[in-house]
Amino acid sequence: MQQSNGEKVFQVFLLIFITGLSIVMVYPFMHVLSISLSTPAEALRPGVHFFPREVSFFAWERVLSTESVWRALGVTAFRTIVGTILTLTLLSMAAYPLSRKYLPHRGLYTMIIVITMFFGGGLIPTYLLIKSLGLINSIWVYVVPGLFSTFSLLILRNFFMGIPVELEDSAKIDGANDIRILFTIIVPLSMPVLATLALWSAVGHWNAWFDALMYMQDKTKITVQLLLRRLVITNTGDPMMPVPTAEQAPETVKAAIIMFTALPILIVYPFLQRFFVKGIIVGSLKG
């Protein structure tokens, strides 16, 4: 089918727009990667850095040989994996009964949960609550307070409401209880939305730093994002990772640790995306 002149102009405009948007998004990443692989003199050179003119692995050697960086990465990986699994489990167990009309006072429970989206206790009451629960300086402070998301719960609840009740009725005739129905029927049919919520939760945990700043005084349990913030933003570094001198070009170390913290998500995301797309296809066929 031959395109009209207006369609051709739109295609050209769309191509230019997407190309420009791609450059804007890719350039900061390439700049930081180039700085991390540059020599101290090259890193201090003003201008555009797409590729390192003088390659040096000093910054990466410094980051990879620092024990505190690996420890912080392990803490962040723990909160991301455990937090995401527990969040999806609790959300599924809460959204399933709220999606069924036979639950008594279902509307009241939903309204109470929705209210928490608009009203909160504030920073100081939250800190006092965390302290009273004994979570200060505990690694579980990264997981427990963020286990439940009202917004994610509503999304999952609405998706569960679209699953035919007849599937549950047939399973109950075969003797299945509610727990078995949830994890053998409802959850497999909800892989598209669960994959989306898992991605949101994992990225949120990986990028979180404020809770570590507020509730964690133990330097051995801080997250990699807080370590990165101290090095890049406040320029105070870490007691176990002395900030290099000006002659050693701290910009290279900062760039290296930025790339180091971004690489795990960049590596894992394509696999999550493939799983997400597959879940959408399976869900659309089964739904």
- For residue 37, give the DSSP letter: T
Q: What is the pLDDT of residues 227-245, one digit of tens each?
A: 888 877 755 544 444 444 4
Q: What is the overall mean pLDDT for the chain?
A: 82
Q: What is d(CA 213, CA 227) in angstroms, rounded to the nearest whole number?
A: 10
Q: What is d(CA 178, CA 199) in angstroms, rounded to the nearest whole number?
A: 27
pLDDT score recorded for residue 17: 92
Instruction: Kindly tell me the sign of the dihedral angle through the C-alpha atoms of 15, 17, 22, 23.
Output: positive
pLDDT score recorded for residue 273: 67
With H, G, I as helix, E, B as strand and everything else as coil, classify residue 233: coil
Q: Report which of 142, 247, 151 is spatially closest to residue 196, judged by C-alpha positions.
A: 151
Asked if residue 38 lies in contact with residue 252, where contact means CB atoms within 8 angstroms, the answer is yes
Integer-rounded Cα Rg, in Å, for the chain is 24
Number of H helices, E strands in the chain: 14, 0
pLDDT score recorded for residue 272: 67
Q: What is d(CA 130, CA 105) in angstroms, rounded to the nearest whole number?
A: 30
How far, in Å, are 88, 113, 143, 202 from residue 150 at the CA level? 12, 7, 16, 16
Cβ partners under 8 Å of residue 222, min gap 6: 72, 75, 212, 216
Side chain identity, residue 75 = V
Q: What is the pLDDT of residues 101-117, one digit of tens each?
A: 888 888 898 888 888 88
Q: What is d(CA 36, CA 256) in angstroms, rounded to the nearest whole number?
A: 5
Residue with tokens 């700043």: 213
pLDDT score recorded for residue 117: 83
Residue with tokens 């930081």: 32
Here the tokens at position 130 are 């965390």
Asked if residue 272 lies in contact with residue 195, where contact means CB atoms within 8 angstroms, the answer is yes
Q: What is the pLDDT of residues 8-19, one digit of tens each?
A: 788 889 999 999
Q: What is d(CA 249, CA 44) in angstroms, rounded to the nearest whole number?
A: 7
Q: What is d(CA 176, CA 239) in angstroms, rounded to the nearest whole number?
A: 56
Q: What is d(CA 181, CA 46) in angstroms, rounded to the nearest whole number?
A: 61
Asked if residue 88 lies in contact with residue 198, where contact means CB atoms within 8 angstroms, the answer is yes
Q: What is the pLDDT of residues 19-55, one digit of tens each?
A: 998 888 888 888 888 888 888 777 777 777 777 778 8
Q: What is the pLDDT of residues 75-111, one digit of tens each?
A: 999 999 999 999 999 999 999 999 888 888 888 988 8
